[in-house]
Every structure is written in C-alpha cells, then in structure tokens.
A and B are shown apart, each in its own frame.
Chain A
C-alpha cells in the first residue's frame, strides 16, 4: 500500500513521513500569508493537526501538497482574522532623521491602508500585487476559482486605492 493510502487510513508513521516531506513547504506558505515567522511556526503545528484529523477525507489519488496548502490557507486566514480584531493599526512614524523618517512614514501609512482590507482580500492583494503571482496559481493555492481570484483582486485594488487616498497619498 502506498504512503498516501496508508495516511488516508490513519497510519501515523505514514503521516510522519509526509510531515517531514511537506513541513517546509507549508511553513514557507504560512510565512508568505501571515508575514510572521513565529505565528507561522505555531500555525504549521495547527495545520498538520488539522490534516491528520481529516485523514479519512483525503483522496489518495490527489496531490497531498495542494491539499495541505489549502488547509494552510484556511488556517492563515483564520489567524489573520483573529489578529485583525486584536492588533491595533501601526502607529505614526516616530521622529527620525528626515529622509529616513519620511520613507518610514510612507511605509507605515501604506501598511495601514493595506491592513484595512479584509484578510481574504489582503491575501489575494499580497500574492497578486506584491509577489506578482498569476491568477491560476493563486486560485490553486487558495482552493478557490479563478473568477473568485479576479473578483477579489478587483475589490482589493479598489479598496486599497481608496484607503491610500484616505491616508493622504496623492494619486
């Protein structure tokens, strides 16, 4: 019986092998989505626990990596929603040397605008606008349709521009 079949039947040894194969990918993906290496480590534990709990639902003919990534995406979104409720927006720039303070101020205000987006829009904006991922890859990674990615990217851009202008950025 192959590894994925054994995992689907709840074999813990098979799961440990899969964990060691995919831990790094899942962790890297969580860092990308949360931008917080510490939180990503805790979420990696949470994700693999969710994966093990759902072993009976895993279709051994499909890709384990893609399935793990979708579960990780959901866990990251849960984390971002919690963090959004708990964490205050970044404060204004403290006094620094003039040029550096001005640059820092731009970053803080732009980040504050970014953080006004709902987590599901923020994740798409991050992958599409910052990292330049194609829509097909975003759809695959998040487990949503390409048209949903397109719609979210559109809404994210519209809301981001409005938030940037509210932060005082010139068009």
Chain B
C-alpha cells in the first residue's frame, strides 16, 4: 500500500486549517473584566462555608469524638 507523503498531508492540512486572520478591536478594553475577575477572587468565602464551619464547631462542642473520626479523612 502506498503511504501518504508529508508534503501531501501538509498541503491538505493547509487547505483545512488556514492561518487565522484576526483583527483585535483596539476599542475593546478588557481590563475592567480582568479587574472584576481579580476582585471576585478576593471575595470572602460564601455563606455556606461559614455555616459548615459553625456546624463543625458545634459538633466539636457536642461530640468531640465524632470530630476526631471526621479528621481522619483529611
């Protein structure tokens, strides 16, 4: 069986996947979106995390031995 040559594969690839032409819109200022993303990363933990933490404290106060079992999983 004849094998395909590298040149033939390259030629087909160039037809299928042309070099992308792009023009970045200079007016598009992406900085506000980056800034928002950074600020979101600095947010305090969501309320559910606080509830979970309080539940663990309550568990420790009521049943310290259960907390020990839980910690074994970490």
**Which residues of A line the B interface, CB within 8 A?**
12, 16, 19-20, 23-24, 27-28, 31-32, 35, 37, 40-41, 44-46, 48-49, 52-53, 103, 106-111, 113-114, 125-126, 129-131, 157, 160-161, 164-165, 169, 171
Contact = CB atoms under 8 A, between A and B. Distances in A.
A41 B13 contact: no
Contacts of A35: 17, 20
Closest 7 CB pairs of A and B: A110-B16, A171-B4, A111-B16, A49-B37, A110-B12, A161-B4, A171-B2
Q: Bin chain B's interface residue count.
A: 20 to 34
Given A19-B31, A161-B3, A24 B12 contact: no
A170 B51 CA distance: 65
Interface in B1-30: 2-6, 8-10, 12-20, 22, 24, 28, 30
B66 interface: no
Contacts of B9: 129, 157, 160-161, 164
Main secondary structure of the interface of A (DSSP, over half): helix
B73 interface: no
Contact of A171 (B3, B14, B35): B3
A151 B51 CA distance: 52
B30 A41 contact: yes
Nearest to B36: A45
Given A37-B22, A49-B41, A171-B3, A130 B34 contact: no
For A12, A45, A53, the residue with the greatest tally of chain B CB atoms inside 10 Å of its CB is: A45
B61 interface: no
Nearest to B37: A49
